[in-house]
Structure 1
Amino acid sequence: MLLKHHLPIEKSPSGVVDHYNNISLQGEICFGYNFVAEYDENIHSLPQLLCLLDALFYLNDHIKHVQLPKKQWQQSKPWQALVRAFNTESLSRFEFYSHPLNGLNETQRPLFNHIDSQRMSPKRPINLTQEVYRRFDNELGKFISFKVADPDADIGIFHQWMHHPRVSEFWEMDLPKEELKSYLTDKFNTPFNLPLIGYFDDEAFGYFEVYWAAEDRIAPYYAWQGYDRGLHLLVGNDAYRGTRFFKAWCKAISHFIFLDCPMTQKIVLEPRHDNQKLFNQITKLGFIKEYEFEFPHKRAALISIEKVKFYKENFQC
């Protein structure tokens, strides 16, 4: 579910409140971590309820579980939709943030398995052309979203980014526009890759390639599992460099990957071994540097994060 609008939601003594829409989640804490929510008849949609729950968790680290009792909420259509989605009237912080409703466009998009003589790995539908993820980053105060890269519409900005000195230093792809368009087209048409453009409040800032690790050049260099995903990335818009933006997009792209395929338990990256700026930032978010190894074209470092650790470090689950 892609939420298009988000208004400030404030913390209150007994919950959170959205003054603009005159809605709130008020309640009491039981056992020090379980929030029991009182019914609010002014909540008219599932997106409103999701935004309130998101704000409640974000503003209250000690709340690990939320209950919306059937006795009070059963006449509420948003509550009924929530129960259909989560199959429960109470949910943990992990259950909430790991549900596809928290960012994905298509919450039931199928994956197809590819089988060859040596391995089986999933592949994506090749007809994806839309926005695949959108969430409001409470800490940054901006929406972050990802759209499938269009080789025709996005070649201008992709060419510009690839010729940025800070990008070309590591990507080494400051090529003519025609060659870069061919590169994007190949990624778009290959079902093991998902090329994305990242946006802050609908302003493009970076390029991301999400891939199935078993089908990538990294496969011979680590003990991959069938649903591991890898990531190549660049930030081409200088306005969105820096620690706070790094934290926002790294958290969001990782969140998208884990939501996109619930069976994915690990994300890997293989940056150049001397990309110290990346290492300094990404390890703050729970990623670890496992070891260095020799690619044919570079000495690389294997960077990774497990699913459980990601949610613990980034959503306090």
Structure 2
Amino acid sequence: MTSENLTFTLRPLDPAADAGLLHGWVTHPKAAFWMMRDARPQDVERAYLEIAADEHHHALLGLRDGEPVFLMEKYDPAHRELVGLYEPRPGDVGMHFLVAPTGTPVHGFTRAVITAVMTHLFEDPATMRVVVEPDVDNKAVHALNEAVGFVPERVIRKPEKKALLSFCTRERFLKAVSA
């Protein structure tokens, strides 16, 4: 099976209904950089209830054929995550994504997911630039980010990690995915 012609749909995350599913994802060894490995199901539900109540942070589930396969978060970096760590521009949108663990990996699946996430973010004409701040040691996500057009700017220190602040404009994204 290959990742060609994968189609995803998105729906808002339901913290109460989806907490059990997410708990399995965020505590999986593959999700070490998500920093929730020791979370209990109620911790996961509480974290996503907080996001659901936050006007500057949103969580969505990505579905393939109706089955949840990834988590996407978008946030306003002028109000969350990066406050005081860089100078946000109008149209900046922060993003996190997590692909569900699987016993049957599909070559190119994660790249298809990040491409779908970026496509969704840039569907909003107000989005000018996507901002990410992955852990400096997360080499796999740095390669994925580069593949869809992100350019690293600098290493920043967040309370929970040392992160690589990177940006992707709409133009860089479109050029990267059309190459």
Query: Scaled by the length of structure 1, what TM-score is found?
Result: 0.52
For the structure 1 residues 211 and 241, does the alpha-carbon distance in structure 2 shift closer, same or farther, using more than 3 Å as the test?
A: farther
**Alpha-carbon distance between aligned partners in 1 of 2:8 and 2:103, rounded to the nearest angstrom:** 14
Q: CA deviation at 1:145?
A: 1.4
Q: CA deviation at 1:245?
A: 0.9
Write the letter of the residue equivalent to 2:158.
Answer: F
Q: CA deviation at 1:270?
A: 0.5
- For structure 1, the 5+ residue unaligned runs are 1-138
**Aligned partner of residue 160 in structure 1, secondary structure:** helix
**Alpha-carbon distance between aligned partners in 2 of 1:291 and 1:262, rounded to the nearest angstrom:** 27
Write the letter of the residue equivalent to 1:210.
Answer: K
**Alpha-carbon distance between aligned partners in 1 of 2:49 and 2:91, rounded to the nearest angstrom:** 24
**Alpha-carbon distance between aligned partners in 1 of 2:107 and 2:149, rounded to the nearest angstrom:** 15
**Aligned partner of residue 238 in structure 1, secondary structure:** coil
Q: CA RMSD in A?
A: 1.8
Tell whether 2:102 aligns with 1:238.
yes
| Aligned positions of 1:121-200 closer than 5 A | 140-167=4-31, 169-173=32-36, 174-200=38-64
**Alpha-carbon distance between aligned partners in 2 of 1:200 and 1:193, rounded to the nearest angstrom:** 23
- Report the counterpart of residue 305 of structure 1 in structure 2: 168
Which protein is bigger by CA-based radius of gyration?
A: 1
**Aligned partner of residue 257 in structure 1, secondary structure:** helix
Tell whether 2:156 aligns with 1:293.
yes
**Alpha-carbon distance between aligned partners in 1 of 2:115 and 2:152, rounded to the nearest angstrom:** 17
Q: CA deviation at 1:230?
A: 0.5
**Alpha-carbon distance between aligned partners in 2 of 1:284 and 1:171, rounded to the nearest angstrom:** 21
- Report the counterpart of residue 122 of structure 2 in structure 1: 258
**Alpha-carbon distance between aligned partners in 2 of 1:205 and 1:269, rounded to the nearest angstrom:** 21
Kindly indicate whether the alpha-carbon contact (under 8 Å) linking 2:122 and 2:170 is maintained by their aligned counterparts in 1. Answer: yes
What is the aligned counterpart of 1:201 among 35, 58, 65? 65
Q: How many residues align?
A: 176
Q: CA deviation at 1:219?
A: 2.8
Kindly indicate whether the alpha-carbon contact (under 8 Å) linking 1:197 and 1:205 is maintained by their aligned counterparts in 2. Answer: yes
Summarize deviations over 1:199-231 as a string: whole Å, max 9, x none.
222221121111111111213122211221001
**Alpha-carbon distance between aligned partners in 1 of 2:154 and 2:106, rounded to the nearest angstrom:** 26
For the structure 1 residues 272 and 166, does the alpha-carbon distance in structure 2 shift closer, same or farther, using more than 3 Å as the test?
A: same
**Alpha-carbon distance between aligned partners in 2 of 1:262 and 1:315, rounded to the nearest angstrom:** 19
**Alpha-carbon distance between aligned partners in 1 of 2:24 and 2:71, rounded to the nearest angstrom:** 12
Q: Choose between structure 1 and 2 for higher RCO, CA contacts under 8 A separated by at least 6 residues.
A: 2
**Alpha-carbon distance between aligned partners in 2 of 1:287 and 1:192, rounded to the nearest angstrom:** 22
Kindly indicate whether the alpha-carbon contact (under 8 Å) linking 1:194 and 1:209 is maintained by their aligned counterparts in 2. Answer: yes
Kindly indicate whether the alpha-carbon contact (under 8 Å) linking 1:207 and 1:233 is maintained by their aligned counterparts in 2. Answer: yes
Using the aligned pairs only, state the percent identity: 26
Write the letter of the residue equivalent to 1:221.
Answer: L
- For structure 2, the 5+ residue unaligned runs are none
Query: Scaled by the length of structure 2, what TM-score is found?
Result: 0.90
